[in-house]
Amino acid sequence: MLRRLYDWVMRLSASRHAPSALFAVSFAESSFFPVPPDVMLAPMVLARPDRAWRYAGLCTLASVLGGCLGYAIGFYLQDVALWLMSLTGHAGGLDQFRCWYAEWGVWVILIKGLTPIPYKLVTIASGLAQFAFPVFIAASVATRGARFFLVAGVVKKFGPAMLPVIERRLALFAGLAVALVVIGLVASHFLGSGTSAC
């Protein structure tokens, strides 16, 4: 199953539909979709290293636009936003999120946007907390751009040499990716609960 998925992503990464699919995944991941765009970005850069920066820019643009949707969900649809947040263990309510941003401010966006912590938590919580929208956009561009350009740069530089290793150790890399996401979710939960009493 894992091998078939990997092979499918590699084929899609080299197809003419790859940029559209990458845009869609990057957009959706910022507000509701569970799969990070890095899963597509890395094999696309492996397949076309000459387009690494174009793909990273596309990822960044789509992610920030998707983040605007997440922000809007938090700002205008508070009941839906709180329900979505509760699914990830953040059931502390609106006051918890406002407290979170009052204490950490823009650092919440900058730190979480670079880590495996799901970015949708940041976008929805920013809307819930009614965090300043221009600052949210600027921080999102900075942090998401840094992440995607870093991924693209590493894969562009070391990609061809890494491909045989990735293919031989596919299960190991998949396990590490899952572990990073779990660590991110746990860290996110403790950061949220740690700021709920301010």
Higher pLDDT, 136 or 89: 136
Please report which residue ranges of the chain form alpha helices under DSSP H: 2-13, 18-29, 38-47, 52-76, 78-87, 94-104, 106-114, 119-128, 133-168, 170-194
CB 106 within 8 A of CB 135: yes
Question: Considering the chain, what percentage of its residues have pLDDT values greater than 90?
Answer: 15
**DSSP state for residue 92 in the 8-state scheme:** S
Give which of 161, 170, 83 is closest to 120, Cα–Cα.
83
Question: Considering the chain, what percentage of its residues have pLDDT values greater than 70?
Answer: 59
86, pLDDT greater than 80: no
59, pLDDT greater than 50: yes
* pLDDT at residue 85, rounded to an integer: 73
* pLDDT at residue 65, rounded to an integer: 95
Give which of 156, 154, 172, 147 is closest to 45, Cα–Cα.
156
CB 110 within 8 A of CB 103: no
Q: What's the rounded Cα separation, in Å, for the pair 118 and 192?
A: 13
The residue assigned the tokens 């809007």 is 72
The per-residue pLDDT for range 128-178, each reduced to its tens digit, is: 888 889 989 998 898 888 888 988 888 888 876 665 655 555 455 555 554
What secondary structure does DSSP assign to 104-141, as a single string? HTHHHHHHHHHSSS-HHHHHHHHHHTT--HHHHHHHHH
The residue assigned the tokens 């979480």 is 112
- 41 three-state secondary structure: helix
**Domain boundaries in the chain?**
2-194
Give which of 125, 133, 132 is closest to 188, Cα–Cα.
125
